[in-house]
Structure 1
């Protein structure tokens, strides 16, 4: 069962989600061993766009998400969301990791409702919103379960619902399905596309998997080795909705080949 139209509209109204990055440099590491993870980085992401980020391991993909989320400080340049500079974390920029961060001692519904509790919203209202979101992610019958009683895919559904309850303008996802088996992973990808088609929040999705990026994204950004720069910005022309047959389309195969070549070139450049 889907959320009612009013609830979905409420999320959509709060999710314009334009991201602008200008001359962005982010340095990380201990004070005596700082290094640039991102350098002179420029990127614009349109409201409601599904952007996938590819690149070699350690190139700065996760740092990029953390900077947009406000968990990592910008060294130079600026990140702005809807024209307002990012200067720290905010619930309107939700972050989903590969491993869930659910509270093991709380039930599923209480985990999802936690963000509203922190805002001071009453128990009945936050439970109602949490129940609607559990229906949206296909877990209506699991409200009273605990995280340890759920499969990995179900835990990630709860994690996504817990982020969505804050009605984020931007959903930042750091390889959220990387630890799942192939079938569960495809099911989660399809679920995510279904959710996105309803709420149209901006999604920035980091992955190592080229096929996953092509299956999900409107657009793929390929990053260089650290410090990360954009080496390719590719529009994905595949029509929506997408399914397994989409992966056999000539455009899918052509872009996959291009991405493999780019990734190989980036890796070889570092090796040289």
Structure 2
């Protein structure tokens, strides 16, 4: 099973986004440029209100930039499209439809016949670990199960990019951990490009190939941090390297000075020259 034979490359070029109208308008994202290669898992990490979700909205085609460009494989994002699947923090399932009907909804909108919709829906319901729940309704499921249905509903459209906006933020700690593990298992089978928004440092380090750290509003990328930890990472969460990466991210999130004076991370394997000083 494959979400796409060709996961997409994401390119942002000097992207700025303004929100609001008239005198209430403000710059949410400022001059962001970045490259995400096909199949990479990248986390956007930053404080609340820094523009993480706004960037995702521009890539999903729901927001129009004030300047700059959002590109997928060199083509400008001009509006919503199923190739860019978006998963929100709170599910958007239809409460009057069963799990199978919710998952197959995108296929129905494409005119796919009922038998094919049913077969593919069952495949993706199995993929997210909900075998036996196809005829249940969202109100009969737990929060974690509802998010599994939401992910299946997005994946069935074979997105080339999976955009995830704090999808596990409303879950309890244990369910959140299970959903993180599930997402990584799914990614091993479905090699799509993932851009995942979070404000949780541990989550970013456990999931991502790279962590893009954003400044307070107006949001800018202040560091592009490769996560040099072997996978799977859950066992490494107590390691010295994980602690060093986490400390570095926390220092950046709390830093208010210009980017030229941002704290530096000690390279992997090198002895720490000094302990990072947090800016309060």
Counterpart check, 1:265 vs 2:275: no
Correspondence list, 1:165-180, <5 A = 165-180=156-171
Conserved? CA contact 1:153–1:188, under 8 Å? yes
Q: In the alignment, which residue of structure 1 is the partner of 2:272? A: none
Alignment deviations for residues 32-77 of structure 1 (CA, whole Å, 9 cap, x no partner): 4221111111011111111011111101011000000000011111
* Equivalent residue in structure 2 for 1:12, among 4, 26, 29: 4
Within the candidate set 190, 209, 212, 1:199 is matched to: 190
Distance 1:247 1:170 in 2: 27
CA RMSD of aligned residues (A): 1.7
Rg (Cα) greater in structure: 2
In the alignment, structure 1 residue 162 sits paired with structure 2 residue 165: no
On the 8 A contact 1:56/1:267 being kept in 2, the answer is no
Instruction: Extract unaligned runs of 5+ from structure 2.
Output: 260-278
> Would you identify which runs of 4 or more consecutive aligned residues in structure 1 move more than 6 Å?
none
Indicate yes or no: 2:84 matched with 1:93: yes
Q: State the alpha-carbon separation in 2 of the partners of residues 250 and 52 from structure 1.
A: 21
Residue number in structure 1 paired with 2:205: 214
Write the distance in 2 (CA, Å) between the matches of 1:190 and 1:241. Answer: 9
Q: How many residue pairs end up in the alignment?
A: 261
CA deviation profile, 1:92-116 (whole Å, cap 9, x unmatched): 1011111000000000000000000
Equivalent in 65, 72, 75 of residue 56 of structure 2: 65
Task: For residue 140 of structure 1, give the secondary structure of its aligned residue in structure 2.
Answer: coil
Is 1:225 the counterpart of 2:221? The answer is: no
Return the TM-score normalized by structure 1. Answer: 0.93
Distance change in 2, residues 1:267/1:114 (3 Å): farther
